[in-house]
């Protein structure tokens, strides 16, 4: 049986980042992916400036479909464009983006096996065994970065996060039409559905359109998406796909003896925006760092790996918890809160700062709570 220091299961942003950093930290690393790469991933492909910075290397031009400098913010019928003087969201297609991250992990020395699904994980005192359809591998640690339906998570417990269902489609559109309609803006429409939002993310020659919502029956979402496409003069002759987005509340550990969970497997997604590439990249890095520490100390126990959970909480846990609390209010009182934000330039520019990683949610919320009475009065008297 071939043995490694670390086996990473799943080659999305979490797994590719974990494998790259493990290799950079001189750990003998295997990255297992069940699909052949490049593979499709249901995702709008928005990479915020803050996340781009965390990736840690330049993405080549061919990977970046469009650079958005701002957002068209719609709340019910109200619409406002807000632009920064720099890119705030990089638009990518996940098949190319993820394949490139894997290429970077390979360049650092990670061994990659795609088209090989992990079927089970067994931990014991002498190591962890990862079984696939083709054979078995052993390691000191396994990093479960295998997404929403994580097999590694299932070897520990059932998923216990809050979950939102999203539908999306990729609409092919002439580049000139996109330039004219959206240009360098991502469109986010709150209040189009109850308890969620709809989006249009412009790529080079297509638009990613989708809806994510908590309060609406998932069966109704495809029809709502078609209505959204019609409202934006886009074709409804599209293939609609659906996928789940998990949101942890950090109530359950993302680790056990010899195991760490990263990205969607651990539910590290922002419940306000549905942004999960950030949590995937950050947790992938922290899992690698913790794996290195465990190898240095020779201790792969649950107690040693609890350091990983602490690191995640410290790095992005507060933001995820804030997002979760804020989402409960914002999606319930959409017009009152988001309608007020949309009518105020300062509030919108501060929102762009959160996308750039220059302002955390806590500071934004505190600022907004202080300003809210004045902003509401202004809104009432100007209407
Ligand atoms: C509709 C939709 C739109 C979204 N839009 C955005 C967005 O614009 N921006 C953003 O930041 N986030 C977005 N997200 C969230 C984002 O897609 C995820 O949070 C992100 O992909 C998580 O990365 P990951 O590496 O943890 O998991 P994934 O990207 O899901 O990767 C997991 C990998 O593991 C592989 N795998 C699964 N099981 C096994 C197994 N048993 N053995 C081996 N391999 C396995 C899978 O094939 C996959 O390649 C969106 C999500 C949805 C559903």
CATH number at residue 309: 3.50.50.60
Pocket test for ligand 1, best of 208, 241, 274, 355 (most atoms within 8 A of CB): 274
For residue 149, the CA-to-ligand 1 centroid distance in Å is 10
Pairwise CA distance, residues 341 & 337, whole Å? 6
For residue 41, the CA-to-ligand 1 centroid distance in Å is 6
Instruction: Give the count of domains, the chain.
Output: 3
For residue 248, the CA-to-ligand 1 centroid distance in Å is 15
Taking Cα atoms as reference points, which of 245, 231, 221, 171 lies closest to residue 201? 171
Pairwise CA distance, residues 87 & 66, whole Å? 10
- Tokens representing 25 are 């930290």
State the 10-residue block means of pLDDT for the chain, 383 residues long.
96 98 98 98 98 97 97 95 97 98 98 98 96 96 98 91 91 97 97 91 98 78 96 97 91 94 97 95 98 98 97 96 88 89 94 96 92 86 77
Chain-centre distance of CA 91, in angstroms? 13
Cβ–ligand 1 distance for 276 under 6 Å, the answer yes
Cβ–Cβ under 8 Å, residues 167 and 208? no
pTM above 0.95, yes or no: yes
- Tokens representing 153 are 């998570």
pLDDT at 41: 97
Q: Is 240 in the same domain as 197?
A: yes
Pairwise CA distance, residues 101 & 364, whole Å? 31
What is the domain extent for residue 101? Answer: 2-60+94-160+247-327
Cβ–Cβ under 8 Å, residues 229 and 208? no
Pocket test for ligand 1, best of 9, 39, 44, 120 (most atoms within 8 A of CB): 44
For residue 40, the CA-to-ligand 1 centroid distance in Å is 10
Q: Is 73 in the same domain as 166?
A: yes
Pocket test for ligand 1, best of 9, 10, 357 (most atoms within 8 A of CB): 10
Residue with tokens 């804020």: 326
**Atom 33 (ligand 1) nearest CA:** 10
For residue 13, the CA-to-ligand 1 centroid distance in Å is 7
**Atom 41 (ligand 1) nearest CA:** 118
pLDDT at 14: 98
Q: Looking at the CA of residue 48, tell me the nearest atom of ligand 1.
A: 11
Q: Is 274 in the same domain as 319?
A: yes
Q: Is 43 in the same domain as 124?
A: yes
Q: Looking at the CA of residue 262, tell me the nearest atom of ligand 1.
A: 26
For residue 218, the CA-to-ligand 1 centroid distance in Å is 19
**Atom 10 (ligand 1) nearest CA:** 275
User: Could you write out the DSSP letters of every residue in 27-49?
Assistant: --EEEE-SSPSS-------EEEH
Pairwise CA distance, residues 71 & 91, whole Å? 13
Cβ–ligand 1 distance for 168 under 6 Å, the answer yes
Cβ–ligand 1 distance for 275 under 6 Å, the answer yes
H and E: helices and strands count for the chain: 12, 18
Q: At what angle do helices 318-330 and 361-382 cross, to 10 degrees?
A: 20
Cα torsion 88, 93, 96, 99 to 10°: value is 80
Total number of residues shown for the chain: 383
Handedness of CA 247, 320, 166, 196 (dihedral sign): positive
pLDDT at 216: 63
Q: Is 16 in the same domain as 123?
A: yes
Domain boundary among 204, 228, 246: 246
For residue 80, the CA-to-ligand 1 centroid distance in Å is 31
Q: Is 227 in the same domain as 297?
A: no
Pairwise CA distance, residues 161 & 136, whole Å? 30
Q: Is 184 in the same domain as 42?
A: no
Q: Is 235 in the same domain as 352?
A: no
Q: Looking at the CA of residue 245, tell me the nearest atom of ligand 1.
A: 53
Cβ–ligand 1 distance for 338 under 6 Å, the answer no
Cβ–Cβ under 8 Å, residues 300 and 287? no
Cβ–ligand 1 distance for 9 under 6 Å, the answer yes
Pairwise CA distance, residues 313 & 283, whole Å? 10
Q: Looking at the CA of residue 13, tell me the nearest atom of ligand 1.
A: 25
As a three-state string, the secondary structure of 88-138 is CEEEECHHHHHHHHHHHHHHCCCEEECCCCEEEEEEECCEEEEEECCCEEE
Q: Is 178 in the same domain as 290?
A: no
What count of other Cβ atoms lies within 10 Å of the Cβ of residue 322?
19
pLDDT at 161: 79
For residue 126, the CA-to-ligand 1 centroid distance in Å is 31
Domain boundary among 298, 327, 356: 327
Q: Is 256 in the same domain as 110?
A: yes
Domain boundary among 200, 231, 246: 246
Element (H, E) at 78: strand 78-83
For residue 261, the CA-to-ligand 1 centroid distance in Å is 13
- Tokens representing 236 are 């409804």
Q: What are 292-298's contacts with CB under 8 Å, separation 24+?
A: 292/22, 292/25, 292/26, 292/27, 294/140, 294/141, 295/5, 295/27, 295/140
Q: Is 226 in the same domain as 355?
A: no
What is the domain-level CATH number for residue 69?
Answer: 3.30.9.10
Q: Is 337 in the same domain as 217?
A: no
Pairwise CA distance, residues 255 & 309, whole Å? 7
Taking Cα atoms as reference points, which of 195, 171, 159, 144 lies closest to residue 308? 144
Pairwise CA distance, residues 293 & 299, whole Å? 9
Taking Cα atoms as reference points, which of 370, 371, 374, 350 lies closest to residue 361? 350
């Amino acid at each position: 049986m071939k043995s490694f220091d670390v086996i990473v299961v799943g080659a999305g942003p979490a797994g590719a980042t974990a494998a790259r950093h493990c290799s950079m930290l001189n750990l003998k690393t295997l990255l297992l992916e069940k699909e052949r790469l490049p593979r499709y991933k249901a995702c709008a492909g928005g990479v915020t400036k803050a996340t781009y910075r965390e990736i840690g290397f330049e993405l080549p031009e061919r990977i970046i479909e469009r650079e958005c400098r701002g957002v068209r913010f719609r709340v019910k019928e109200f619409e406002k464009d807000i632009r920064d003087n720099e890119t705030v969201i990089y638009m990518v297609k996940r098949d190319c983006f993820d394949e490139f991250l894997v290429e970077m992990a390979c360049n650092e020395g990670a061994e990659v096996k795609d088209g090989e699904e992990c079927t089970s994980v067994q931990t014991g005192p002498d190591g962890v065994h990862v079984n696939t359809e083709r054979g078995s591998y052993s390691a000191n640690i396994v990093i479960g970065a295998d997404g929403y339906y994580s097999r590694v998570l299932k070897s520990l417990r059932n998923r216990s996060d809050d979950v939102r269902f999203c539908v999306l489609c990729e609409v092919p559109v002439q580049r000139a039409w996109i330039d004219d309609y959206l240009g360098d803006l991502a469109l986010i429409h709150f209040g189009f559905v109850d308890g969620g939002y709809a989006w249009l993310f412009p790529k080079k020659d297509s638009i990613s359109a989708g809806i994510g919502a908590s309060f609406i029956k998932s069966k109704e979402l495809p029809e709502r998406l078609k209505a959204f496409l019609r409202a934006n003069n886009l074709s409804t002759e599209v293939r609609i796909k659906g996928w789940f987005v998990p949101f942890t509340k950090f109530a359950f550990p993302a680790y056990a003896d010899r195991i760490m969970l990263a990205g969607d497997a651990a539910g590290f997604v922002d419940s306000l925006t549905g942004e999960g590439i950030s949590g995937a990249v950050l947790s992938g890095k922290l899992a690698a760092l913790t794996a290195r520490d465990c190898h240095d100390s020779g201790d792969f126990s649950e107690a040693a790996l609890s350091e990983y959970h602490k690191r995640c909480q410290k790095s992005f846990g507060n933001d995820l918890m804030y997002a979760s609390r804020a989402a409960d209010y914002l999606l319930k009182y959409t017009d009152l809160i988001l309608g007020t934000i949309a009518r105020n330039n300062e509030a919108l520019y501060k929102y762009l700062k959160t996308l750039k990683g220059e302002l955390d949610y806590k500071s934004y919320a505190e600022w907004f709570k202080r300003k809210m009475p004045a902003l509401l009065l202004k809104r009432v008297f100007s209407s």
